[in-house]
Chain A
Amino acid sequence: MGNRSMGFLSNDLIYSAIVVFALAFILHAIETAWSVRSGEGRNLDRSRTERVARNATGLIVLADLILLAGLITRGLSAERLPLGNMYEFSITGAFAFTTAYLVALKKFQIRWLGLFVAGGALLTLGTAITLLYVESAPLVPALKSPWLVIHVAAAIISGGIFLLANSIAAVYLILEKIERNGTRGSWAARLPSLDSLDQLTYRLIALVFPLWTFSIIAGAIWAEAAWGRYWGWDPKETWAFITWVAYAAYLHARVTAGWKGKKAAWLCLIAGSTFLFNYIYVNIWGTGKHTYSGL
């Protein structure tokens, strides 16, 4: 199979993944609506909604596998790992995000997050294929380095986990507001306690912080080999540093200053937005050395 047709196959797979994510999203939406409605007065048949939710998870697994196949064919068509431009970062990022969710699902009761995960994956893939799409091609010389693969892969996995942690922190804040104004509604009643959401966010951040640190170190090693300096305050580097500092502050605030709950969740969201800002702003409007790897 030629490189170009392999590239087209990849596009078809990405489109298929979008369709399956959409189905998963619909199932999660139905399940959510159901549990909200049946909570009002009538007795809720938990096994029925649970079955729907499990099917939705199955669809997310399927979509994730299709997405993986799309990534592999994309890589084969360009004869390199699919980490060379913003389109590829986005689809790999969506894969990292959903995989982080599925792995976390094995350990924690977070099936309820499926609605957000399927929705997030849909948004990311949709933007990627409509706005960011570029045909697959080899890399410019400066990007040809094993450290690029290591650096970008670590950054993308970190991104997936950051996004997951921030989704949970956002849900925490919503639930906190609901609880402050009364008791939880029927939809919110299924979600874990505020305390365990808070704890979950912290554990995800504690998990991702060393990985993010490693990603920055790998990037510095690559920058030293490509540009002769390991750190140059290029906008991307600056924002990677800001994200690092912000999450260091989050961990500090939690562990030593005893911040919990609302304050910690806000800090987590602020830190997370620096990551998102770095990804969107610096790639599209920035001027630094990282921009040629972008669009």
Chain B
Amino acid sequence: MAKIEKDRTRELREIGGYSLLRYLWRLLTSMRTALILLLLLGLASIPGSIIPQRTQNPFQVQDFFAANPTISPWLDRLYLFDVFGAPWFSAIYILLFISLIGCLLPRLNHYRVAIFERPTRPPQTFESSEGFFEVDGDMDRAIRWLEKNRYRIERFDGSISAEKGYLKEFGNLLFHLSLLLILIGIAMSSLFGMRGEAIVNEGERFINTPVAYDNISPGRLYSLDSMQPYRIDLDDFTAKYNPITNQALDYELKVKIRESTDAKPREGVIRVNKPLTFGASRVFLQATGYSVLVTVRDSSGVVTFQGPVPLLPQDPNLTSAGAIKVPDMDPGIGFVASFIPTIERDPVRGAFSSFPEPLDPQLLLAAWQGDLGMDEGKPQSIYRLDTSKMERIALISMKPGESFDFKVGSITFDGYLPWVNIQVIHDPGKRTALFGGFLALFGALGMLFIHRRKIWIRLRGDSQGKSLEVAGLATSGEEKLREDLVSLKEFLSARAGEGKGE
């Protein structure tokens, strides 16, 4: 090993410019480099599964920062919170794929010729070759066996050479080319893809335009103008839960679908594993929660706010929290809201939900008065009330239908309805990646289970065409060749024993 390195450095010193490039190219495309890169790729993925990743769980990354304030900035500088988008991770797989292409091109070129090649002349002596045996039998019968077993046969005088397993290399090339295809699919997904989410109340509609989304992340080459303006009316949503474990059993969303805003509607159903499909876009049912319907009036009884307010679930039993903001009153009024579908009280936890369905629903509110901070133009979360410039004026607990008077107005809890989080994913690369995956699978089967092997047969000169010498050569899977030789020997000896019988 050390010697090889020394030789290489000497080689390096002696060559310059163009030949240096050629040397690097040869180094990169060598088998050993490919192997090291492959192992490196595996190693490099490990931190991505141990350290929280931004792409999967940004909140966990925040928690990690809070828990490890000294080390986290350093980890961040090394892209360890975004391993699979890190330059060093990309470097490994790009080098690996360049190395792969470097390996494949000459082999493809070689295979183009080799696939049509005829078996070459047998060696002069093959007594020392694999599975050598002598058997009484005739050449025609041996050829019949070889043909039946789909060997490619070439006749020479007094001998034949037969070969099979040409598709092994095909499988090998197909496997590796398919990996490139998968990579292309993944690249298409991320460049031309789009994903977006929107919370939509039951009874409302969703029209696929950029403004309909709560958040949208288009790929670098995705055009927002090209969105298909389909419309989905969310008619009815049902969630079923296991009454013992509280686990969700089934979600079902009945919808009316229009391929474009003025098209005829058709009925449809979305479930967790059954999204709606519009070409390469799919609409998923991602999560569910509750919106509360409230009406706020000022002291003279004029409605200042009315409508459904979506709240975010805080636990599996859908204890939901959020904010109701009423900027149209002076001073502004806001509520920190908590909706509890099935209320239960506990001296430690206070009020909490014991079941996700609304069996005993209650709305708990803290009313605040003051500056909502909405005029400063700073983006605000609709789920959070900034109470820094406000004063708490009341704590309220209401059942549906109840009203409450606070100092400067009143609030009515009109009811509640479920919302669903619709996730739209446009992924034009997935079919390519899937196709690549299956091709890779077929390639792997061919590459691992087809074996390239040769069988040579020669008439013994002294036997007047009655005795044959047989041997073989396998480049892989010797046991396959051995089986073939045994089977051939049996076929030939059977003839010798039975006379003319097949």
Binding site for B on A (CB under 8 A): 137-138, 140-142, 144-145, 206-207, 209-210, 213-214, 216-217, 220-221, 224-235, 238-239, 241-242, 245-246, 248-249, 251-253, 255-257, 274, 282, 286-288
Contact = CB atoms under 8 A, between A and B. Distances in A.
Interface string B403-435: 000000000000000000001010100100110
A18 to B, nearest CB: 27
A255 B242 contact: no
B282 to A, nearest CB: 7
Contacts of B108: none
Nearest to A288: B56
18 contacts: A141-B249, A141-B271, A209-B444, A209-B448, A213-B437, A227-B284, A228-B282, A228-B427, A233-B45, A238-B48, A239-B49, A245-B38, A249-B42, A251-B448, A252-B38, A256-B35, A257-B31, A274-B42
A257 B35 contact: yes
A217 B35 contact: no
A242 B251 CA distance: 34
B273 A257 contact: no
B125 to A, nearest CB: 26
A157 to B, nearest CB: 15
Q: Which 3 A-B pairs have the closest CB atoms?
A: A141-B272, A245-B42, A235-B49
B35 A140 contact: no
B444 A230 contact: no
A282 B50 CA distance: 9
A249 B445 CA distance: 17
A217 B438 contact: yes
B368 to A, nearest CB: 35
A241 B434 contact: no
Contacts, number: 122
Contacts of A232: 55-56
B296 interface: no
Given A137-B247, A206-B448, A246-B42, 20 more contacts: A140-B247, A140-B248, A141-B249, A141-B251, A210-B441, A213-B437, A213-B444, A220-B437, A224-B427, A228-B195, A233-B83, A242-B45, A251-B448, A253-B35, A256-B31, A257-B31, A257-B32, A274-B42, A282-B49, A288-B56
Nearest to B273: A145
B247 to A, nearest CB: 6
Contacts of B31: 252, 256-257
Q: Is the interface of A mostly helix, strand, loop or mixed?
A: helix
A227 B434 CA distance: 16
B440 to A, nearest CB: 7
Nearest to B43: A242
Nearest to B47: A238
Contacts of A256: 31, 35
A224 B38 contact: no
Contacts of A228: 195, 275, 282, 284, 286, 423, 425, 427
A252 B36 CA distance: 11
Contact of A231 (B42, B48, B186, B275): B186
Interface string B219-263: 000000000000000000000001001011111000000000000
B164 to A, nearest CB: 19
Nearest to A251: B448
B41 interface: yes
Contacts of B90: none
Contacts of A235: 49-50
B425 A229 contact: yes
B84 interface: yes
Interface in B266-297: 271-275, 282, 284, 286
A221 B434 CA distance: 8
Nearest to A255: B476
A137 B246 CA distance: 12
B310 to A, nearest CB: 21
Contacts of B50: 235
A238 B47 CA distance: 10
A229 B427 contact: yes
B478 to A, nearest CB: 9
A271 to B, nearest CB: 9
B35 A249 contact: yes
A138 B56 contact: no
A214 B441 contact: yes
Nearest to A147: B273
B55 A141 contact: no
A210 B275 CA distance: 29
Contacts of B247: 137, 140
Contacts of A138: 242, 249
A233 B84 contact: yes
Interface string B437-456: 11011001100110000000
Given A229-B427, A245-B42, A141 B35 contact: no
B57 interface: yes
Interface in B24-72: 31-32, 34-35, 38-39, 41-42, 45-46, 48-50, 52-53, 55-57, 60
B441 A246 contact: no
Contact of B46 (A137, A242, A252): A242
A216 B445 CA distance: 15
Interface in B82-122: 83-84
Contacts of B56: 232-234, 288
Contact of A241 (B45, B55, B245): B45
